[in-house]
Structure 1
Amino acid sequence: MATMRDVARLAGVSVATVSFVVNDSKPVAPGTRLRVEAAMAELDFRRNAVARALASRRTRIIALLFPVLQHRLSDTAARFFTGAAEAASELGYTVVLWPVANDSDSLRELTSDGLVDGVILMEVQLDDHRIDQLLAAKTPLTLIGRNRDPSGLDYVDVDFEGMVEQSIDRLQSLGHRDFVLLEESESPGLEGYGPAVRVDETFHAVCAARGLRGRTLRCTATPAAGRAFASTLIAEAPEATAMLVLNEHAAVGLVSGLGRLGVSVPRDLSVVLIGSTIEISAMADPELAVVVSPAAELGRLGVETLVGRLDGTLGALRHELLMGEFHEGESLAPAPAARGDLGRTAI
């Protein structure tokens, strides 16, 4: 049975272009459309695709669940969506963003009416009741993230543990031994948020194993909260020379707030942003070192995993972790040789 890839190969175009013609989702040049339609006719693609859809009663729609009521949309999240949408289009599916609360009640309409063929679950909690409801409704799903025991589920995720260790490696190579981890304050409804828990556990385990000092502090995920947090950092962790930040919304405000209080980044405090984008890091002055989130790649991989499960082409469960690249930025410097309180480097 012919596929979009077969049509694309015969017509000499991309799979995405075939998808645009089949779904009439984007304009295609008349000459290109004629080539695609001729290839479809020669391969009998249209008739087989329609017959298969009618027989299976599938909508070829995938829901991407993101709890916007509890977690602000970010540049990183947008890249997840973009990667997912591009992959779905190439595979003949449509992705819809389903901005529901992170609770099981919000899924009833989605699972009961057969609106979608499957679900990609984002912002996964360790004890995520949405998973239980989707499994009970026999709704195919893939996780971008991990719950407490994901062994029986398909998932792709950021290797946050590896990112933390990589960041500490780099900072320790510069002589830093006093660390702070800045995370987001916990949002109601997102208790036990997987990335935050794993980053915190890894951070403290690595610090303990290496004889480093490490403590976790939290603030709300806004630039204003980051600016205000600067004084909290000076008061609560004056000995710190290095900071890991898992709170991209607050990061730029934090650097600004520290500068206003006379704390120099990186002379007094080296900073690494974890799981964000180069664009966000470049908004700070100085530009922050960042371990980039492989967001677009994960969005694409999440769709390919779910479609493979729906189409019966994926065999064993997929458990995949992806690391991001480390970009140095301008926020790293050797630890001060001698110091007093944060912002008052000894001379």
Structure 2
Amino acid sequence: MRDVARLANVSVATVSFVINGSKPVTPATKARVEDAMRQLDYRRNALGRALASKRTRIIALLYPALQRRLTETAVKFFTSATQRARELGYNLVLWPISNEAEQIEELISSGFIDGVLLMEVQLDDPRVECLQSSTMPFALIGRVRNPESVPYVDVDFENAVVDAVSYLEGLGHRSFCLVDSADVEYALTGYGPLVRTRETFAAEMQRRGHRSAHLSCENSPISGQAVVERLLAAAPDTTAIILMNDNASFGLINGLLKQDLEVPADVSVLLIGASPAVAETTDPRLTVMSLPSTELGRMGVETLIDQLEERGAPMQHALVKCSFEEGQSTGPARNREKFMAQEVAD
């Protein structure tokens, strides 16, 4: 550090201020110090910095890996959050623990992290209650039942469902089915995205006066294929399926084809809450309401770091819309009732 101070023609204390960010330094002086550090190949001592500032500049992204498999969209979010944290001078680590409050308490007491980002939020999430009773800064990627008192950014699942129904309705569809994930329901009781999607779908069907069905299946292609038989038994006149289950999409398309139903000529399929990459794995390519994973990762980190830096920003409550990408799996509705009557007559 003395060598850096000598080369930059500043005091050792000034070098310390630049390294630790403990006091403001003019841009010109900071540039000289950083240039001297590069010339001397000086490496910041992260442990020394943490001891001096009483901060590790590490934030933890908590993901309940025991209950929820790490999906492609979650990885995309994690990558975006990591990059944004680095830009703001922090390191972000993925902390794959369960959704139990006891594990949160252990993490908080370790002194290893400065703040927490919480993913896969339940409406009545025990982890949130634990964080609220602590002094640990935190932010949610998701919403609890009454979210006004906690900082969050989340996907606007409600409007995604409304937009999906409106789009399909515009194509003439009047008989809908929502197919979602049974695995998530079993693993995370009251999982926010699932509950909000179901409630909004039911409300829209009632408001618009459309026929509807709701089915759940496990997160696998074989379960997606099997759910088609259940659908045809429960609601054979369905012409539009809104699918909220990435891993079942391939099987569902195959299941429809095995029942001699063409997509989209007989049944339209719209994938919601996924990514374009998932939509491209089927033939035909799925129409999708894709998750804003990159934007959510950036916003979540900024929301947390605003608290850590005590910037005085108002508590963040933000909903981010899904983006619509039309594929080849949606088209004008066919009169299935008339078509089935003709088949019987023939």
Q: TM-score, normalised by structure 2?
A: 0.84
Cα pair 1:256 1:285 within 8 Å, conserved? no
Cα pair 1:244 1:272 within 8 Å, conserved? yes
Residue 273 of structure 1: how far off its partner (Å): 0.5
3-state SS, counterpart of residue 116 of structure 2 = strand
- Contiguous gaps of at least 5 residues in structure 1: 12-33
Show the counterpart of 1:213: 211
| Counterpart-to-counterpart distance in 2, 1:91 and 1:147 | 27
Residue 63 of structure 1: how far off its partner (Å): 0.7
| Counterpart-to-counterpart distance in 2, 1:248 and 1:36 | 50
Choose the corresponding residue for 2:264, options 234, 246, 266. 266
Show the counterpart of 2:294: 296
Cα pair 1:238 1:341 within 8 Å, conserved? no
Show the counterpart of 2:112: 115
Cα 1:314–1:169 change in 2 (3 A) is: farther
Cα 1:260–1:343 change in 2 (3 A) is: farther
The question of 1:140 aligning with 2:161 is answered no
| Counterpart-to-counterpart distance in 1, 2:269 and 2:245 | 12
| Counterpart-to-counterpart distance in 2, 1:343 and 1:231 | 19
Show the counterpart of 1:176: 173
| Counterpart-to-counterpart distance in 1, 2:161 and 2:151 | 24
Show the counterpart of 2:80: 83
Residue 111 of structure 1: how far off its partner (Å): 1.1
| Counterpart-to-counterpart distance in 2, 1:308 and 1:50 | 23
Decide which structure has the larger Cα Rg and report it.
2
Residue 163 of structure 1: how far off its partner (Å): 0.5
Query: Which region of structure 1 is more displaced relative to structure 2, 146-155 or 65-74?
Result: 65-74
Show the counterpart of 1:27: none
Cα pair 2:271 2:279 within 8 Å, conserved? yes
The question of 1:66 aligning with 2:63 is answered yes
Residue 112 of structure 1: how far off its partner (Å): 1.2
Aligned runs of 1:183-332 on 2, under 5 Å? Answer: 183-185=180-182, 186-332=184-330
Name the amino acid aligned to 1:100: I
Name the amino acid aligned to 1:335: A
Query: Which region of structure 1 is more displaced relative to structure 2, 212-221 or 155-164?
Result: 212-221
Residue 203 of structure 1: how far off its partner (Å): 0.7
| Counterpart-to-counterpart distance in 1, 2:121 and 2:246 | 18
Cα pair 2:141 2:152 within 8 Å, conserved? yes
Cα pair 1:70 1:187 within 8 Å, conserved? no
Show the counterpart of 1:24: none
| Counterpart-to-counterpart distance in 2, 1:202 and 1:39 | 59
3-state SS, counterpart of residue 149 of structure 2 = coil
| Counterpart-to-counterpart distance in 2, 1:169 and 1:71 | 30
Residue 308 of structure 1: how far off its partner (Å): 0.9
Show the counterpart of 1:149: 146
Residue 187 of structure 1: how far off its partner (Å): 4.0
Cα pair 1:179 1:214 within 8 Å, conserved? yes
The question of 1:57 aligning with 2:60 is answered no
Cα pair 2:237 2:336 within 8 Å, conserved? no
Cα deviation digits, residues 256-306 of structure 1 (max 9, x gap): 121122121111111111111111001011000001100111011101110
Choose the corresponding residue for 1:94, options 91, 95, 100. 91
Name the amino acid aligned to 1:328: E
Cα pair 2:269 2:330 within 8 Å, conserved? yes
Show the counterpart of 1:22: none
Show the counterpart of 2:100: 103
3-state SS, counterpart of residue 120 of structure 1 = strand
Cα deviation digits, residues 219-255 of structure 1 (max 9, x gap): 0111221122221122122111001111111112111
Cα 1:235–1:341 change in 2 (3 A) is: farther
Residue 313 of structure 1: how far off its partner (Å): 1.4
Residue 106 of structure 1: how far off its partner (Å): 2.0
3-state SS, counterpart of residue 88 of structure 1 = helix
Residue 214 of structure 1: how far off its partner (Å): 2.0
Cα 1:160–1:221 change in 2 (3 A) is: same
| Counterpart-to-counterpart distance in 2, 1:237 and 1:105 | 44
Cα pair 1:104 1:133 within 8 Å, conserved? yes
| Counterpart-to-counterpart distance in 1, 2:341 and 2:320 | 36
Residue 345 of structure 1: how far off its partner (Å): 7.6
| Counterpart-to-counterpart distance in 2, 1:331 and 1:189 | 30
Query: Which region of structure 1 is more displaced relative to structure 2, 64-73 or 190-199?
Result: 64-73
| Counterpart-to-counterpart distance in 2, 1:264 and 1:35 | 67
Cα 1:189–1:286 change in 2 (3 A) is: closer
| Counterpart-to-counterpart distance in 2, 1:345 and 1:56 | 77
Name the amino acid aligned to 1:178: S
Residue 10 of structure 1: how far off its partner (Å): 7.4
| Counterpart-to-counterpart distance in 2, 1:179 and 1:329 | 18
